[in-house]
Structure 1
Amino acid sequence: MKTQSIPVLILSAFLAVFSTPSSSLAQEGAPTDASGHVTMTMGRGAFLISATGGDGELSFQGRTYRFKLGGMGLGLLGFTRVEAEGEIYNLSNIEDFPGTYFQGSYDWAAGSGEGVLWLKNTKGVFMKLRSKSKGVSLAVGGEGILVQMAGEK
């Protein structure tokens, strides 16, 4: 697997966010049969431009894979720590899991917050995440999250 530098990955995620129209993925005919399960922990924070980082695990076809998260967005104020778990849809090949996932939304959290988030990558793979966040933040606009594989567990 080809590795890229973090600045290149962050720039790629940033460009991908602003070249993709935002929409409500949950209303766009998201699939109903899960092909895997994911858990992740990430932190995000900044002033006007946000940065996101973290890691997670994907359970897919009887195997567990580790991955790293990174991303950029606009309109965030504050810092939050997010723990999320959920289902993966439209994943038939592990090579389709890494990449940039998109979210077009607004959200806010103060103290502890819970929510459901739909993300979709360029290969048509969906993540439906149930998240719990701690911290104080305000975000408006789109955000991209870059997923990089870190090996099989």
Structure 2
Amino acid sequence: MRSASVRVVAALALCGSWSLTACAQSPLGPVTGEVSFHTRSADLGVGYTWGSGVLTYGGRTYPFSVKGASAAAVGYSSGDSIGKVYNLQRIEDFEGTFWALSGEATVGRGVSGQLMENDNGVRIRLDYTRSGARFAASPSRLTVRLLKPKAADTTGVPAANKAS
């Protein structure tokens, strides 16, 4: 009888701890979107980064451009980033300058991560793959601008089927 009681208490404790972790929110806030983008960085003391990507938010995709700067960097690298977006309440809050402390030591190919935040409280946790030869250790900023969607063709006829 006593061992049955111990098993029941143990089972309840395990279920309780599982439900707490399942309901726990990330310390970054709720995941509200995803990003993927490609960037290039060129540096000689002061660095410059540029590229473009796509934000997935609220079941829609939004193209955006990125550009930024860093200090204390030397080299060139390019790569692809994917990440989760946290605390995005309105699409307008995504635009702006994201700040991060970053470091990179890429020779050939490398994998890294970064956490960035903008003035609107939107956070992005990135995982990225880089290639090239670049060394950097500095505060960095990345300015994000949403791009206007391309104008839709109102005729309903695909461009390839139109008569010239």
- Is 1:85 the counterpart of 2:85? The answer is no
Asked if the contact 1:49–1:74 (Cα under 8 Å) also holds between the matched residues in 2, the reply is yes
- Is 1:126 the counterpart of 2:126? The answer is no
Question: Larger C-alpha radius of gyration, 1 or 2?
Answer: 2
1:106: Cα distance to partner?
2.3
CA separation in 2, counterparts of 1:65 and 1:152?
8
Task: Tell me the residue number matched to 1:53.
Answer: 50
TM-score by length of 1: 0.78
Compared with structure 1, are the counterparts of its residues 67 and 91 closer, same or farther at alpha carbon in structure 2 (3 Å cutoff)?
A: same
Bigger relative contact order, structure 1 or 2, given CA contacts below 8 A and separation 6+? 1
1:72: Cα distance to partner?
1.1
- Is 1:73 the counterpart of 2:51? The answer is no
Q: Which runs of no fewer than 5 residues in structure 1 stay unpaired?
A: 1-28
Q: Secondary structure at the match of 2:47?
A: strand
Q: Secondary structure at the match of 1:124?
A: coil
Q: Which of 62, 78, 82 does residue 59 from structure 2 map onto?
A: 62
Tell me the amino acid that sits aligned with residue 40 of structure 1. Answer: F
Q: Secondary structure at the match of 2:81?
A: strand
CA separation in 2, counterparts of 1:32 and 1:90?
6
Count of residues in Structure 1 that have an aligned counterpart in Structure 2: 125
Residue identity over aligned pairs, in percent, reads: 27
Structure 1 ranges of 4+ moved more than 6 A? none
Task: Tell me the residue number matched to 2:108.
Answer: 111
What's the Cα RMSD here? 1.4
Q: Looking at secondary structure, tell me which structure has more strand per residue.
A: 1
CA separation in 1, counterparts of 2:117 and 2:127?
15
Q: Secondary structure at the match of 1:151?
A: coil
Q: Looking at secondary structure, tell me which structure has more helix per residue.
A: 2
Compared with structure 1, are the counterparts of its residues 114 and 122 closer, same or farther at alpha carbon in structure 2 (3 Å cutoff)?
A: same
Q: Which of 26, 31, 36 does residue 33 from structure 2 map onto?
A: 36
CA separation in 1, counterparts of 2:137 and 2:85?
25
Q: Which of 135, 139, 143 does residue 140 from structure 2 map onto?
A: 143
Tell me the amino acid that sits aligned with residue 35 of structure 2. Answer: V
Asked if the contact 1:63–1:152 (Cα under 8 Å) also holds between the matched residues in 2, the reply is no
TM-score by length of 2: 0.73
Tell me the amino acid that sits aligned with residue 42 of structure 1. Answer: T
1:151: Cα distance to partner?
2.6
Tell me the amino acid that sits aligned with residue 108 of structure 2. Answer: G
Task: Tell me the residue number matched to 1:97.
Answer: 94
